[in-house]
Amino acid sequence: MTKTVLITGASRGIGKAIALYLAPLDYELVLTYHTNESAAKETLSEVKALGGQARLMQLDISHRSDCQRRLSEDIEKNGVYYGIVCNAGIAEDAPFPLLEGDMWDHVIDTNLDGFYNILHPVVMPMIENRIRGRIIALSSISGIIGNRGQVNYSAAKAGIIGASKALAVELAKHKITVNCIAPGIIETDMTKNLPIEEVKKIIPARRLGTGREVASLVAYLLSEDAAYLTRQVISVNGGMI
């Protein structure tokens, strides 16, 4: 039976790159987006052009009851997921004295609460159906080393690492793996306003990463061969840390 993989934030950036990488592989993809429906439709048609099977789902990962309802309805209608890629996320950067309360709340509500809001409705159906599945959460090097101007984002991304490791321990006996990918600086909308030439100087590889370089790791973590790899944080960062 075809395995279903949910990718949050697949309309743009890394999530889109993951969708395109997985398209030719034998997965049914559920591609979520927040507000950018036209970009999501573009991802869907590119996935289909590559021979992939996919459907779209509009989802605000910070909205708990909405996630619960939509994901449960989708599972009820189309079956349990094999893989979940918690990719959607936001950054709202400022030096700490200028970090407003709503910037803190928004980034934590989306990035960290999003982890719970997406995974809580889907994990029990995986266990009940004895799915030997895969959970992959996008953290960041910011969550490992802490980045200037990103106290909120570093907190959320470090939280995702702790949450993933704890969940990995709980789910290991069910043969479900849980891992984090912690990218360095990847060329997407999120990084388009960075001073690129300055940034390159702090990356030993002297370039930004591509979405595809993250996506290939997602594909590996989803594969049968990665069944013994769990509770880990793998950083794709051109040697930054």
Residues that bind ligand NDP (CB under 6 A): 8-9, 11-15, 33-36, 39, 59-62, 87-90, 110, 138, 140, 183, 185-186, 188-191
Residue 133 or 183: the one with the smaller Cβ distance to ligand NDP is 183
Q: In whole angstroms, how close is the CB of 228 to ligand NDP at the nearest point? A: 25
Q: In whole angstroms, how close is the CB of 23 to ligand NDP at the nearest point? A: 16
Catalytic status, residue 153 = yes
Residue 58 or 72: the one with the smaller Cβ distance to ligand NDP is 58
Distances (CA, A) of 189 to 51, 86, 210: 26, 18, 12
Residue 131 or 209: the one with the smaller Cβ distance to ligand NDP is 209
- CA nearest neighbour of 221 among 131, 135, 101: 135
Residue 66 or 165: the one with the smaller Cβ distance to ligand NDP is 66
Given 33, 116, 153, 220, the catalytic residue? 153
Per-residue burial over 114-135, b if 16 or more Cβ lie within 10 Å, else e, is: bbebbbebbbebbbeeebebbb
Q: In whole angstroms, how close is the CB of 130 to ligand NDP at the nearest point? A: 29
Q: In whole angstroms, how close is the CB of 75 to ligand NDP at the nearest point? A: 18
Residue 55 CA, chain-centre distance (Å), reads: 17
Please answer whether residues 180 and 233 qualify as being in contact, where contact means their C-beta atoms are separated by less than 8 angstroms. Answer: yes
Distances (CA, A) of 212 to 63, 149, 186, 187, 209: 29, 27, 10, 10, 8
Q: Which residues are catalytic?
A: 153
